[in-house]
Amino acid sequence: MFLRRLALPVFSFAAFILLCVLCYTSLEGIRWRDALFWIFHPHAIHYDKVRDATKLFSLLVYLGVLSFQIWVAERVLATIFRKQGREAWKAMVNDANIEKIRDHFIICGYGQVGKTVVDQLDRMKIPFVLIEVNEGVHQQLLQENIPVVHGDSKRQDTLRAAGIARARGICVVIDNDADNLYITVTAKAMNPSLRIITRAGRQRYAQAMRNSGADEVIIPEHEGGLMVGRMIEKYSVP
């Protein structure tokens, strides 16, 4: 985006420089390298050794260079402060921050369980990187300054972008048992020392996930049922 917006002023400036070089060489018979030096260092021109036409032309060159600097600055500032520019800036800052994160947890999925996990990690000041496949949610998370990678957690390049090689652990909480199992296998293969916490919706997947390298397997419905049972037991005591 920056390059597209800067293309016109940059090419126009290049044409302006070429024209100035040709004019200087024609007026004073100097080498093109000396003419180029005069354009950016007008103080190098000895006023008592050049013609009046050269002096007047050097003033035009100075004003032209200044005008192009203002034009480029305007394009850069307009790009940064417009909506797309702000989003691009947020994305660049996000990527830079993720590159610096070490010994963190990767959270796959920002559903109800993922949101709760992120809130807990944020409260405990534990570093994390979230992976989210939905573009709208990804943009929202960028605006909230949450470190996030846009992509499919099943893809190795997405896991690499989240820093799996330097992560402490990964929490796989997508609402799909087959996907969670696949991510568990992939993550373990990419980083055997990784601590893996995986969500399972059914018991038959839970054992497969443990066999595939998951250190902890959470079944939210089962855990919720156990909690409700303990509450009932508490209130049943006379």
Amino acid at 91: A
Distances (CA, A) of 56 to 24, 100, 166: 11, 53, 62
Residue 88 located in a structural domain: no
Amino acid at 210: R
Residue 95 located in a structural domain: no
Residues 196 and 107 in one domain: yes
**How many Cβ atoms sit within 10 Å of the Cβ of residue 124?**
8
Residues 142 and 219 in one domain: yes
pLDDT digits (tens, 9 = 90+) for 67-92: 888 888 877 776 666 656 666 777 88
Q: Residue 105 has what pLDDT? A: 95
Q: Residue 223 has what pLDDT? A: 64
Distance of CA 168 to the CA centre of its chain: 21
Per-residue pLDDT of the chain (238 residues; tens, 9 = 90+): 556 667 788 888 889 889 989 998 988 888 888 888 888 888 888 877 888 888 888 888 888 888 888 888 877 776 666 656 666 777 888 888 899 999 999 999 888 888 888 998 988 999 999 999 988 888 888 888 899 999 999 999 999 999 999 999 999 999 888 999 999 999 999 999 999 999 888 888 888 899 988 999 888 766 666 667 777 767 776 6
Residues 129 and 44 in one domain: no
How many helices (H) and strands (E) the chain has is answered by: 10, 6
- Structural domain span for residue 201: 102-231
CATH code for the domain in which residue 225 is found: 3.40.50.720
Q: Residue 104 has what pLDDT? A: 95
Q: Residue 13 has what pLDDT? A: 85
Tell me if 154 sits within 8 A of 186, measured CB to CB.
yes
Residue 66 located in a structural domain: yes
Lay out the sheet containing 148-150: strands in order across. Answer: 148-150, 128-132, 105-108, 169-172, 195-199, 216-218
Residues 129 and 201 in one domain: yes
Which of 26, 47, 81 marks a domain boundary?
81
In the chain, the number of structural domains is 2
Residue 43 located in a structural domain: yes
- Paired with 171 in beta bridges are 107, 197
Q: What mean pLDDT, rounded, does the chain reach? A: 85
Residues 158 and 222 in one domain: yes
pLDDT digits (tens, 9 = 90+) for 182-203: 999 999 999 999 999 998 888 8
